[in-house]
Each structure stands twice: as structure tokens, then as C-alpha cells.
Amino acid sequence: MDTLTALTHLECSLCKQNFERGKVHNLCPCGGPLLVRYDLARIRQQWSREQLKTAPNTMWRYAPVLPVTCHASIVSLGEGMTPLVRTPRLGGRLGAQQLWVKDEGLNPTGSFKARGLSCAVSMAVELGIRKLAIPSAGNAASAMAAYAAAAGLEAHIFMPRDVPQANFVECKAYGARVTLVDGLISDCARMVAAGAEKEGWFDVTTLKEPYRIEGKKTMGYELAEQMNWELPDALFYPTGGGVGIIGMWKAFAEMEALGWIGPKRPKMIAVQVEGCQPVVRAFQQGDARSTVWQNAYTVASGLRVPKPLGDFLILDAVRSSGGTAIAVSDTELLDAGIRLASEEGLFIAPEGAACVSALEKLLANGFLKSNEKIVIYNTGAGLKYLEAYSTRFPRSAAGEQDKLGGLITPR
């Protein structure tokens, strides 16, 4: 293409009001998240799937459908193009003949959040924003801190005090200004909003800026490319803020408009936990929006979101695709994660492990059939959640017995 992007405008996901490109935007005045729109007819004429053969091996291979207009604005650490791993042992045990894990834990900073924050920070550079602030359950904070450091921007992080230690240490190492909050991510979000105007921060909260969705949607483009442009029958996604589902659903529509895929869509399956399942409750009750889940708790910190801002977009994707929303317990997801590691050599985040447990339930009750093509999204590296998994591996003060019966003693 003769320009990097064919972005035309931004559109409110609720009231459909349009907003000018090239300006700093958060939410629409009506409260709706803004979605980036492109001249897809023009892109279709100038960009083809064949051109991907020589494109960068990162998510920026899809630059024509990303919002950055200038190459110099792009802040990249090599995010995207993560493996799509066939898992025959797991599939054989559960009764899924064609099962894959899309392993987002191999992104920079160890999670899928790298995609959204690469795009958001790149747009901050392009728009002249110098100070960023974010509330996070952990991984988004790490990603923003890393990309802000790479761009030379100020990063202000607000995280619950009980976030995984890895996230706190990462953010400090990247030079971010970290505030630990006694509360949930929703409490952190209120602190960011309160300080944004006073301190001159730009609020990068999930869906309160338009560009994290654009980075996340590249998971959908990649999946189609890796599956030779035929989408799977079902797609499992761990759903806290749910931007991955929203982004991929947007990507599928864009790819159809480009002529890259047909009208087929996977059943979109939103996976939550029993201790925090606002989307599942809304889905089961037939509601268009969720209500706040009180006293939210789970070891899967990324799923501890009492009310996602984009709940109506998540629910629309799930319902329109013939999918479902399902919750699993903390015990089930931790056990599923450990079993997957021993069967397939994939040590995944508890959030991704929740999808393994959900798959088992939906195969058992007949919602999914054994011959369907199924993809599980793992959103992060298991190594970032050692506190959660360590509850399954208590260590003896005197030492541990190895499998051969010998005693391993500390020196």
C-alpha cells in the first residue's frame, strides 16, 4: 500500500457517533468504547494475503489494518506470530480429535497484553502523548511498562496489592511508577481516572482508549493465517476484560470484507471463573449487559474483573457465533494447567488453563463434538503465576523425595 494505514475514523460502539482520526480520544460522551474503522475496500485493492509472505514476523505484518500512520511511530519488541500448537495427548484424553493451543505466553513480557500495548503505545507516540497511566491485574501493567520504556514515555501503574510478584518486579525494573492498591482492578481504575486530569496522564484502561483492541485483533488475523484461512469450529478465550474476543470478532469481519475468509465463524466461548463470572451470569440470564460481580476472587488474576466495560460487545460475539459462556473453579483450572504441562510440555497461565477445564465440560455435555476443530487461547506464561501453581506443590522443610526415592537436601 502507498500509505501505512487506511484508517478513516473512529466510531462509538454504542451510539455510532463518528470521531476524527489523528486526535486524542478516550470514551464517547455516551460512555461507549470507540472502534477504529478503515477503508477496507481500498485496502482490498492494494493489499493481498500473498504479500504476507514477505511481511515482518510480528503482528505489524498486518500494518494496513492497524491504526499507526508512520513507521517511525511503531514501538515493537517482537510481539505476535505466536505458535499454534497441536495437542494430541490432551485431545485424546478429552475426546477432541483436532485441538490446538495458541500460546500467547511467548509474547514479550509473557502475555497477549503485549499486542494491545504495542499498538496503544505506538499511537501515543504518534499523537504526542508523553504520560500514560493504567490499572491492571498484572500482565497489562508489565506490557505497558515495557513498551513505555522502549518509547521513552512515563508509565504510571496501579495494581491490586496481591498481583503476582513477577508483574510487580517487572514494572519496577522497567522504570514505571507503581502504586499498589488495597482492592480490585476496578478500584485501581477509579484511581487512574481521578488522577488523569490532575496529573496529565492519558488513561490506557481497557477499552477507554481505542487502540488496544487493534493490537489484540491481530490474534484473529494470525489464527486465520496459521490455519490456512479457514477458521476453527470453536474458539476458547479466557474472559476478564474480554478485549481479545472483541478484537478477534472485529478481525473476522474485516477479513471477510477483504475477501480473505468466508462467512464462517467459530463458536466464541467466553471462559470465566466461579469466583468472578459477570459475563456468564449475563449470558445465562439473556441480558445485554452484565452487572458487577460482588466480592470477586480467583487465583487467575486476569479473570478478576467484576464488570467488563465491553460486556455488551463480548455477549454479542458469543451469541452471534452460537457460542456460550462458562465458568470453572480455581481447583479445576489449576489441575487442568498442571495436567496440560505434563501431557504436552506447555506450562500456561491459570487463565488459559481455565479454558482446558471448560473444554472438558463442553465435550462431556455434548455442546462440542469430537471431530470439531477447536482452538484454546492461552493468554500468558505459567512462569508468571508461580504463587498460584505452588499451592499444588508444597515443599517440605527437610527436603523433597525425588521419583527414584532419593532424598534431595538443601545445601
Domain boundaries, given as residue ranges, for the chain: 84-110+212-390
pTM score: 0.93
- The pLDDT value recorded for residue 163 is 85
Nearest C-alpha neighbor of 83 from the set 389, 357, 381? 381
Q: What burial class does residue 85 get, using C-beta atoms within 10 Å of its C-beta: 0-12 exposed, 13-18 middle, 19+ buried? A: middle
Q: Cα–Cα distance between 192 and 187 in angstroms, integer?
A: 9
Q: Which residues of the chain have pLDDT under 70?
A: 1-4, 396-411
Q: What class has domain 84-110+212-390?
A: alpha beta
Q: Cα–Cα distance between 161 and 163 in angstroms, integer?
A: 6
Q: Cα–Cα distance between 235 and 340 in angstroms, integer?
A: 18
- The pLDDT value recorded for residue 143 is 97
- The pLDDT value recorded for residue 394 is 83
Torsion angle of the four alpha carbons 270, 271, 272, 274, in this order, in degrees rounded to the nearest 10: 120
C-alpha cell belonging to residue 30: 455516551
Q: Cα–Cα distance between 132 and 227 in angstroms, integer?
A: 36
For 88-108, the pLDDT digits (tens) are 999 999 999 999 999 999 999
For 264-323, the pLDDT digits (tens) are 999 999 999 999 999 999 999 999 999 999 999 999 989 999 999 999 999 999 999 999
Q: Name beta bridge partners: 37.
A: 9
